Structure 1
Amino acid sequence: MKMAVTSPTDQMLTVLENCRISPPSATVGDKSLPLTFLDIIFLLHFPIHQLFFYDFPLSKPQFIETVLPILKHSLSITLQHFFPFASTLIVFPDGRKPEIRHVDGDSVEFTVAESHLDFEDLVGNHPRACDKFYPLVPPLGRVTKLSEFLSIPLFAVQVTYFKNLGFSIGITNHHVICDASTKFDFLKAWTSIARHGTDAIVLANGSFPCYDRLLKYPESLDEIFMKQPGVEALNDDYQVLDLVGPSSKVRATFFLTKERINLLKLLVSRKLPKLGYISSFSVACGYVWSCIAKSRVGFHERKGEDELERFVCLANFRNRMDPPLPETYFGNCVGPCVAVAQSMLLSGNEGFLVAVGSIGEAISKTVKKKHGILEDAELWFELMFRTPAKIPAKIGVAGTPKLKIYDVDFGWGKPRKYETVSIDRNGSISVNACKESPEDLEIGGG
């Protein structure tokens, strides 16, 4: 008989409440939202786990009486306007295109827990054990097999109290529901409603999502990505991949100040005068990529002088579509920028310039395509998720400095710390604007 393996960090968590949060009664009803090929690409992607830590030096009764009612009430109202987060992904066994479906009464799993882990350790920047964070983000839940389709959960929330110090809010979503831009819109609405007790300000701003499928593209792209490897495994036994533990990895946080970034930009413009794209994001990513390449040499991971490495980031295509889509378009609307460089050059003395040059050229090539942004879209799945044998090393990026993630304030101040926990799954890095100075960059990785 097999016995369940429990991570030591799981024993440091006590679940106080499991409940479900629905939109207010009779506000949404039965609705469905078709997927586009930009959503279908992420059909088999692992869930996205994000974690916000907040200072709250008060007792557990004060936490339960003050924080929880506000979070639950504001989430319910937010779900009224962002109904896909309270919906499920419907996958048909006959190969029909999946859809997001909401039935009156659908809800989000909401877990309340207490942790005995070291809060100050978790919110630090020093190396910390990755698996300490895993109990703080919720799983999506079980896939349900119904008579004609699979029903896959899309969103879950966990709020965890740390005695007299603070609390964390962990959110997990299936990537098929939306990209970072849409999720940030959801978080902005939720925090606004939490702070003000009503959706009046959000309504006045007119920033609720656009659900119209305005994207124009060949239907063949749907068919191509419905045949991506692994889709055939969406059957009776399918379950969503979640974080597992224990892990030997550690995560740490690093910072690049505006002053240091400007110096790097100056160096790039002087050494690479013909490079068409130079930004804070590209120089930061180039710097990190070259540092990782150098560290691989130190650990003897490089196998040959001709070995290539790949760097993948996603660009927001809303304003690059023809015609452009509203910034509030709900769903996924991102495409890949892929840079490739020789490992030996990346790890050399000019490694930073090699890296930032490759990234800049990749971004320029992606956003300035002669025949429109969807040119070669049929290759995007392979570019994003498949690692060719000849390019064994790959680094991806989660987050973007354009979204001010430290503005996620529910009424108790800005987050003390933010972590993208899901980057542990594929060795990506996170790049976000800093809390105090948005022009400084915060880089996380493990």
Structure 2
Amino acid sequence: MESSIVKKISECYVKPKNEVSESKTPYHLPPLDLIMLSYHYIQDGLLFMKPNSHLNGDNEFSIHSFLESLKQSLSDTLVHFYPLAGQLVVHFDEDQHQCRVFVDCNKGPGARFSHATALDFTVSDILSPNDDIPFVVRSFFDYNEEAVNYEGHSKPLLSVQVTQLIDGVFIACSINHAISDGTSYWHFWNVWSEIHRGSGNNVSISRLPIHNRWFPEGCVLPIPLPFTHPNQFVKKFEPPQLREKMFHFSPESIATLKTKANKESNSSDMISSFQALSALVWRSTVRANDLPHDQVIYNYMFANNRHRLNPPLPQNYFGTCIKGITTKTSAGELLDNNLGWAASLLHQSVVNLTDKVVRDFVKDWLKSPYCYHHTDLHDYNSIAMEHSPRFDMYGNDFGIGKPVAVRNGPGNKAVGVVFAYPGCEGNGSVDFEICLPPHSMKALETHDEFMAAVSLPK
């Protein structure tokens, strides 16, 4: 019912401001992009307080002027991120029993830009620090939970929705996960906000994206996939009923967890803050799900490969360059041992992700290509750590002040999925959005060890 309160007001499409010569050639997708074709779009949004007046004058804030300035700066930004203005091309060859997928950067009308209103809601309604994330937030995004990356052959690869609240503005971006990972996704946000702040001036962009894609030697482009129909590699996913809730961890709380994990594992401070925090959440959700002691359980962490490859890729490499790190044990072992034991398992899994592991993974994939599916990765016996508190989310200022919160859309949500964000207060604080069935979430909320580490946001 809440979603019906969000009303679409207008919609248009945005192209790069200038013609980009590179956009005339096919934009080929490496293996680590193609493996994501059945996953959902990356969907995150920033919540802003609506200013009482323009920063450069005494006029009342005008949503229409703000929308126009966003569209203009988006057009400028797409000159540098030109693949996002195109669409996927899919060629099936039944005789060869294969298909080929690439990006035509000039196909389609461009990036979608829409304006919506939710004038029954305030910023405080969305923040709800002690409550679940309101269901209405899902309607702040253009795509529903069923839209997968493969549909980028008919849908825009980038969709922006700006939703006006009573006292705030929510800017949401949905970007196709088959051409962008979280690092590239937030790089786009950072450049867009940088260009927007410098609109009307000669903007010097601090970090330009690099579009030279990483392919193993000997790849035939576009890479052939052994499929003759979408249903052979695309699966829709409908998660069970979930509660979605934000939990805040202060710098002091995280430091305490890190010290405890390193002391218990005798690891000489090798365990990172994020590994200690992830271990706490893993143990707590397994306990909340009340799994049998002999149940095999998994922790999936998606790691950036750019710096792990040899030679390393530049941090500004645009594309999907992540690999899942799997840590496996049993529910009994995880709960019978302490926090340090669990954190040391995660630490070792991260250490084991090397250049050779990534290259061997890609080599094996090329021999028998497949796509990741939510149904294969997410269940009561798994937890998936997605996003990263290292991404610069709160530095995205569009001239109306710093964001007051980050929230995500309906995509990529399943039992045990945890989205990691930097805390709004900064200084190393972390916010986790945790997705669990209602009975498991209730158990998590009453778990003493977990809740003792949770803090109220400042």
**Unpaired runs of at least 5, structure 2:** 54-58, 436-458
1:330 aligns with 2:302: no
Contact 1:202 1:208 in 2 (8 A): no
Structure 1 regions of 5+ residues with no counterpart?
Answer: 1-7
Q: Post-superposition shift, 1:217?
A: 4.7
Alpha-carbon distance, 1:105 to partner: 7.3
Count, aligned residues: 417
Provide the residue aligned with 1:70 in structure 2: 69
> Offset at 1:311?
0.8
The CA deviation at 1:20 is 1.0
SS at match of 1:281: helix
Contact between 2:275 and 2:346, CA under 8 Å: does it hold in 1? yes
393 and 243 in structure 1: CA distance in 2 versus 1, 3 angstrom threshold: closer
Deviation at 1:116, TM superposition (A): 3.2
Match runs of 1:27-66 below 5 Å: 27=20, 30-58=24-52, 62-66=61-65
CA contact (8 A) 1:179 1:333 kept: yes
CA gap 1:223/1:190 in 2 versus in 1, 3 angstroms: closer
User: Partners of 1:151 and 1:24 in 2: how far apart?
Assistant: 22
Query: Do the aligned residues in 1 keep the contact of 2:36 with 2:372 (CA within 8 Å)?
Result: no
Query: What is the aligned-residue RMSD (CA, Å)?
Result: 3.5
Q: Amino acid of the residue matched to residue 177 of structure 1? A: I
Look up the equivalent residue of 2:246 and give its one-letter code. Answer: T
How far does residue 413 in structure 1 lie from its aligned partner after superposition?
1.4
Q: Deviation at 1:159? A: 0.3
The answer on 1:250 being equivalent to 2:232 is no
Q: Quick one: which of 120, 132, 139 aligns to 1:135?
A: 139
1:172-208 Cα distance to aligned partner (Å, 9 max, x none): 12210111111111111100111110573344x3x21
- Where does 1:188-337 land on structure 2 (aligned, <5 Å)? 188-198=190-200, 200-203=202-205, 205=206, 207-217=207-217, 219=219, 226-227=225-226, 232-234=228-230, 248-274=241-267, 277-297=270-290, 302=291, 304-337=292-325
Aligned partner of residue 421 in structure 2, secondary structure: strand
Letter in structure 2 aligned against 1:273? N
Are the structure 2 counterparts of residues 263 and 412 from structure 1 closer, same or farther at C-alpha, using a change threshold of 3 Å?
same
* Aligned match of 2:439: none
What is the CA–CA distance in structure 2 between the aligned matches of 1:435 and 1:142, rounded to whole Å?
Answer: 29
CA distance, structure 2, for counterparts of residue 22 and residue 395 of structure 1: 39
Q: Does 1:373 align with 2:365?
A: no
User: C-alpha offsets along residues 411-440 of structure 1, whole Å, 9 cap, x if unaligned?
Assistant: 111111101233424541111221222411
Residues 30-56 of structure 1, C-alpha deviations (whole Å, 9 max, x = no match): 342100001011011112211211000
The corresponding residue for 2:92 is 93
Letter of the 2:259 partner, please give it.
Answer: L
Q: Does 191-200 or 11-20 show the bigger shift?
A: 191-200
Q: Which of 1 and 2 has higher RCO (CA within 8 Å, sep 6+)?
A: 2
More moved, 318-327 vs 149-158: 149-158
CA gap 1:342/1:264 in 2 versus in 1, 3 angstroms: same
Aligned match of 1:435: 424
Identity of aligned residues (%): 22
Q: Is the 8 A contact 1:308 1:343 kept in 2?
A: yes
When residues 335 and 435 of structure 1 are mapped into structure 2, their CA distance, relative to the original with a 3 A threshold, is same
State the 1:283 CA deviation. Answer: 0.9
Displacement of 1:404 after TM fit? 2.1
- Check conservation: 1:142, 1:152, Cα contact below 8 A: no
**What is the identity, as a one-letter code, of the residue corresponding to 1:53?**
L
**CA separation of 1:387 and 1:347: change in aligned 2, threshold 3 A:** farther
Report the TM-score, using the length of structure 2 for normalisation: 0.81
Residue identity matched to 2:79: Q
| 8 Å CA contact 1:39, 1:331 repeated in 2 | yes
